[in-house]
Chain A
Amino acid sequence: MSKDVAACLAPGGDDFGHPASPLYDLAAYVIGELGDNVRQHSLGTGYVAAQVNPGEAMVRLAVADNGHGIRESFIDAGLAWSHGLSDAAAIKKALEPRVSSKGEPVNQGVGLTLVTGLARHTQAWVLIVSGTGIVQMDPDGQVKESSLPSGCFYHGTLVTLTFLHGKLQDFPTLMDAAKQEAGLLAKRPIRTRFT
């Protein structure tokens, strides 16, 4: 599914040399990771929407599900620290590296961390809603927690990202920076054999 959405947003981008390849790779990655989260954690059905607006030079991606939400998935997994958390605090916790309700070996808990890392390095906007919680990140990387109005509740999780087309760059470099920032790369040389 991620490749079909990416191909639709960035026609031709599956060719590495194509000018649309940064958008293709970013969209395929973000939708692939968020889709994986829906499959593994939500216990619901996922929905994807995406839009390229040439006028504004903006790209918008959204993945939503109608599952049990981030906080509930931590609680169901028996993670003791999750009990006192608000929905917004649970969302923020899910942004930290190696926090996952699924557990190893299936999940290393870096999906949402890297998606928001990519957003930070491209000065994108992020909005995450789950239960009563809202977490937003602005292009300066500032993260803000808030709540839905009293009496409102979102059953599931919604993640939206808005990228400025001009800020997209070579995807491997971007991914390397996001992994570095999250402390997910080696601190010393490792002899990996590529041929």
Chain B
Amino acid sequence: MKLELHLAEELGSHLADGAKAVAFRMVRIDPYIGMQAEITLDFTGVRHGNSSFVNGLLTGLLEEHGETLLDRMTFRGCNPILKVLIEGAIALGIQKHDSRATA
């Protein structure tokens, strides 16, 4: 099963609202995780994002499911700013997942 989400179409070209990101994740991504879906987040057309949004979208996912989730996730159409923000959000999620495991 494949899930492909186009963020610019659904949320706009400037993504800066962390609460909106969490709500989007819970409704549009979380239900598909358990179904082992291949997930593509398409950022084509997104000009700008901030840490609050990208962390809200990704950190909790990685914290909950760990690094193996990345085996079935693809990030498409990311500009250099989004790449830095995505890498940071993923690193934070994995850090939190690992510290959960060792706690």
Binding site for B on A (CB under 8 A): 2-3, 6, 14, 16, 25, 28-29, 32-33, 35-36, 39-40, 104-108, 110-111, 114, 171-172, 175-176, 179, 184-186, 190-195
Instruction: Determine the residue in chain A with the shortest Cβ distance to B23.
Output: A106
Q: List 23 A-B contacts (CB under 8 A).
A: A3-B48, A6-B48, A14-B47, A28-B16, A32-B16, A32-B53, A104-B60, A105-B59, A108-B52, A108-B55, A110-B92, A172-B81, A175-B81, A184-B88, A184-B91, A186-B91, A190-B67, A191-B70, A192-B75, A193-B74, A194-B75, A195-B75, A195-B77
**In the complex, chain A residues whose CB is within 8 Å of the CB of B50:** 28-29, 32-33, 36, 111
Pick the 10 closest A-B CB pairs, nearest first.
A32-B16, A186-B91, A172-B80, A105-B60, A3-B14, A32-B50, A108-B55, A36-B52, A179-B88, A28-B48
Using A172-B81, A195-B76 as known contacts, say yes or no to A110 and B16 having CB atoms under 8 A apart: no
What band does the interface of chain B fall in when counting residues whose beta carbon is under 8 Å from A? 35 or more
Instruction: Report yes or no: A39 in contact with B74, Cβ–Cβ below 8 A.
Output: no
Given contacts A40-B18, A190-B91, contact A32 B84 (CB under 8 A): no
Taking CB atoms, residues of chain A closer than 8 Å to B22 are: 105-106
> Would you give the 0/1 interface string for B73-103, flagging 1 where the beta carbon is closer than 8 Å to chain A?
1111111110111111011101100000000
On whether the beta carbons of A3 and B13 are closer than 8 Å, the reply is yes
Which residues on A sit within 8 Å (CB–CB) of B75?
A: 192-195
Q: Does B19 contact A (CB under 8 A)?
A: yes
Task: List B residues at the A interface (Cβ < 8 Å).
Answer: 13-14, 16-19, 22, 47-48, 50-53, 55-56, 59-60, 67, 70-71, 73-81, 83-88, 90-92, 94-95
Chain A contacts of B18 at CB under 8 A?
36, 40, 106-107
Task: Select from chain B the residue with minimum beta-carbon distance to A24.
Answer: B48
A2's closest neighbor in chain B, by CB? B16
Q: Are B16 and A33 in contact (CB under 8 A)?
A: yes
In chain A, what residue has the closest Cβ to B50? A32
CB atoms of A192 and B90 under 8 A apart: yes
Out of A16, A40, A175, name the residue touching B85 (CB < 8 Å).
Answer: A175
Complex: A110 Cα to B85 Cα, angstroms = 12
- Chain B nearest CB, measured from A33 CB (Å): 5
- B94 & A32 in contact (Cβ 8 Å cutoff): no
Closest CB in chain B relative to A185 CB, distance in Å: 5
A192 to B73, CA, bound (A): 8
Contact A111/B74 with A175-B84, A184-B92 known, Cβ cut-off 8 Å: no
Is the CB–CB distance between A195 and B16 below 8 Å?
no
A38: min CB distance to chain B, Å: 11
CB distance from A108 to the nearest CB of B (A): 4
